[in-house]
Structure 1
Amino acid sequence: MSYAFPMGGLPAQDVNPEGAAVFKTAYAFIPAITMRDIVTSNLPHWSGTRAWILARPLSGFAETFAQYAVEVTKGGGSDRPEPDKGAEGVVFVASGEMQLTIDGDAHVLGAGGYAYLPAGCGWRVKNTGDAPLQFHWVRKRYEPVPGIDRPTAFVTHERDVAFNTMPNTDNWTTQRFVDPSDMRHDMHVNIVTFQPGGVIPFAETHVMEHGLYVLQGTARYLLNDDWVDVGPGDFMWLRAFCPQACIATGNTPFRYLLYKDVNRHVGLTL
């Protein structure tokens, strides 16, 4: 299994700069071709590392999460990766080898490796391979609830997570890394897969915010009132209540990494 990641580099000078990137009040579409070297950021207390910051909380838009694509050179990494003690995270490895240490327990993750990092845990990451380490990182401020335990860290691989078929379909599945009924968790980061021709057969409209990073395949995706052609490495960023639907195209499965906020009351103050 291969997983898309930003290509970096820089287009040649004869490339038409007119692009497909869109930022609107209901959604943003950031195509893979825009994720180049000149839009990366360095991160404090990380060595040999650059990050494409694809989403961040914005007032009046999507407010609950940040999403990065992170590339670490051989030997690079961080002993102080998360600056916010209240932030939980998920990392998903696209390629390379990650040595991930969580509260003293060491793990080695390759492509398809997944880890949940609870708020306040001590974790470190290092590229122990020869090739660049490339991974996706989702961050969210955890919302504790009195009387409900906090979630604990876990490490797994997507091949070990079941494909849950959506009702009344045989070509639309979700790999749920967390049990949806587990109220300790206030966010889910899952992998959604459509076989060619699979569809979301209605325009979903809901309170959850989304970050969708396309890992494989192609589709036409409804974002608010626009149908957008999407493919590997494209990112879709949806605010609450943005209508969405999907028609998978091409000859291979269409797969994306999906963030959503769940399992909490909404605040009643602005």
Structure 2
Amino acid sequence: MTYYTPPGGLPAQTELLTDRAIVTEAYTVIPKGVLRDIVTSRLPGFTDTRSWILARPIAGFATTFSQLIVEIGPGGGAERPEREADVEAVLFVTSGELGLTLDGQRHVLAAGGYAYLAPGAEWSLANGGEEPTSFHWIRKAYERVEDAQVPASFVTSDAEVEAQEMPGTDGAWATTRFVDPEDLAHDMHVNIVTFQPGGSIPFAETHVMEHGLFVLEGKGVYRLNGDWVEVEAGDFMWLRAFCPQACYAGGPGPFRYLLYKDVNRQVRLTGPDSARTASRWG
């Protein structure tokens, strides 16, 4: 399997401006051509590292998560990547090898490697190889509930988890689910969605879940809030709650993307999160 990794750099001075970036009240599209050196950020506590911040909570738009592409050079890393106590995360590696020490146990994640990091977990990152490693880092404030225990951390990979066909699609649409969707301990899912050529979502999904979608492979056409948007490997789509969405795979090969969504929690109307809840509803 292949996973798009941004190379950085800058376009030549002789190139014309071509731009597919879109920012609306319902969705944002960040095309791969935007992921250049000039828009990277350094991260506190990391060495030999740069990142592209794709999403962060914005009042009146999407508020539940942040998503970064992180590139660590040989010998770089961080002893304490997460500085917030009650934040959970998913790491998904797209290139190179990432050394992860999780609750005292060391793992090496190659391309396709996946780790869920529970809130309060102790973990560190290091690139012990000779090439840069790149991965997605998706973070969410964990929402505790009385009748569900905090989920445990785990490490797996895209290759180890079998994709499940969506009912009635004859394999044209499948989802790689890394956690059990019935497990109420998890309040976010980060899955991989795969469409075979011609496969589609044939209705406009309109729901409370926010999404971050990074295209790992192939190309497709998305219907977002009434607009047709063509996307390809390396593009990122960021959708607020209730943005109508549908798509079809438009290339000769599979169309695959990494998908974040917030799940399994009641809407809070009072208490410390009420202002955040109100901002989600505009």
Q: Which amino acid aligns with 1:261?
A: D
Residue 225 of structure 1 corresponds to 226
Residues 211 and 238 in structure 1, CA contact (< 8 A), matched pair in contact too:
yes
d(CA) in 1 for partners of 2:15, 2:246: 31
Residues 7 and 33 in structure 1, CA contact (< 8 A), matched pair in contact too:
no
TM-score of the pair, normalised by structure 2? 0.95
- Structure 2 residue matching 1:191: 3-state secondary structure: strand
1:226-263 per-residue CA deviation (whole Å, 9 max, x = no partner) reads 11110010000000000001110111100000000000
Residue 214 of structure 1 corresponds to 215
Residue 180 of structure 1 corresponds to 181
Offset of 1:157 from its aligned partner?
A: 1.0
TM-score of the pair, normalised by structure 1? 0.99
Residue 53 of structure 1 corresponds to 53
Offset of 1:161 from its aligned partner?
A: 0.7
Residues 7 and 32 in structure 1, CA contact (< 8 A), matched pair in contact too:
no
Mapping 1:11-160, distance limit 5 Å: 11-160=11-160
Task: Point out 4+ residue stretches in structure 1 off by more than 3 angstroms.
Answer: none
Offset of 1:86 from its aligned partner?
A: 1.1
d(CA) in 1 for partners of 2:15, 2:141: 40
Q: Report the identity percentage.
A: 60
- Structure 1 residue matching 2:71: 3-state secondary structure: strand
1:9 aligns with 2:6: no
Residue 240 of structure 1 corresponds to 241
d(CA) in 2 for partners of 1:180, 1:63: 22
Offset of 1:7 from its aligned partner?
A: 2.4
Q: Which amino acid aligns with 2:196?
A: Q
d(CA) in 1 for partners of 2:56, 2:122: 23
Question: Which sections of structure 2, spanning at least 5 residues, go unmatched?
Answer: none
Offset of 1:16 from its aligned partner?
A: 1.9
- Structure 2 residue matching 1:13: 3-state secondary structure: coil
Offset of 1:148 from its aligned partner?
A: 1.4
Offset of 1:67 from its aligned partner?
A: 0.2
Offset of 1:13 from its aligned partner?
A: 1.1
1:100-153 per-residue CA deviation (whole Å, 9 max, x = no partner) reads 011101111100100000111110000011110100110000001013110000
Mapping 1:245-264, distance limit 5 Å: 245-264=246-265
RMSD (Å), alpha carbons: 0.7
Q: Which amino acid aligns with 1:105?
A: Q
Offset of 1:90 from its aligned partner?
A: 0.1
